[in-house]
Amino acid sequence: MKLSDVSALVTGGASGLGEAVVRALVKSGGRVTMLDLTDERGKNLEKELGGSVLYCRADVSSESDVAAGIDGAIGRFGTINAVVNAAGIAHAGRTIGKKGPMELQQFERALRINLTGTFNVIRLAAMKMSENMPGDDGERGVIVNTASVAAFDGQIGQAAYAASKAGVVGMTLPIARELAAYGIRNVTVAPGIFDTPMMASFTDEVRSALGKSVPFPQRLGRPDEFASLVLHVIENSMLNGETIRLDGALRMAPK
């Protein structure tokens, strides 16, 4: 798919990895609808990037919110043919802590946003994309999800987060197989440690230590590097049903 032909839906598009994707797509001539819950950042980004961007407030786990966002995207840009699922939360908590077992609602919240939210967007967007006119190779759309290396080697305190991201990895291939009949691809990226707003709360010493834990390059990943891979996935029609680690060969230690 040519990037200049892209009309994308990007969840979590107002900050971090999602924002990097939004900026990269617009720079490449694409159009983007951002779904997020940070109104100020979303509206400012919409204003900054101009008519190629639309911001819609949406909780990815809400059917009505996502459906409204998709309708808004189609109303503004005529279609959607790409989805980038970048919305998520990084929940930390031990199974058994000093105050007893983890609250079940904490575990459920991580799954609801990271896993159920991702699937919610996939199912609703794929339905609309299945109605698109096929392009090169019969392609009607492409979906790029965000997992994490925690899906494979989650650390202590990451049971909920790792489970939610492992679920995203686990559904990548079966969804790709199902959507193949409609000419829609489904791919997942599993990033390592990236320099996102969440990292801004850490001290320079902690950030440096985290960067040095990466074999090469020994630094935090940059959001634009994540965006670059996402854009390549969109362009490369042979990429389908795969989870791609983007982590500098990092394998997380237990803690």
- Report the candidate in 132, 124, 106 with the shortest Cα–Cα distance to residue 65: 124
Angstrom distance (rounded) from CA 47 to CA 72: 17
Q: Which of 55, 77, 107, 161 is catalytic?
A: 161
Q: What single DSSP character describes residue 181?
A: G
Q: Which amino acid is at 206?
A: V
User: Would you call 161 a catalytic residue per the annotation?
Assistant: yes
- Report the candidate in 28, 41, 85, 12 with the shortest Cα–Cα distance to residue 235: 28
Q: In angstroms, how far is the first alpha carbon of the chain from the final one?
A: 41
How many other CB atoms are there within 10 angstroms of residue 242's CB atom? 15
Within 8 A by CB and 6+ apart from 39, the residues are: 55, 57
Cis amide prior to 254 (ω within 30 degrees) = no
Q: Tell me the H-state helices in the chain.
A: 16-27, 39-49, 63-77, 104-110, 117-129, 150-153, 159-179, 204-212, 223-235
Q: Which residues are catalytic?
A: 161
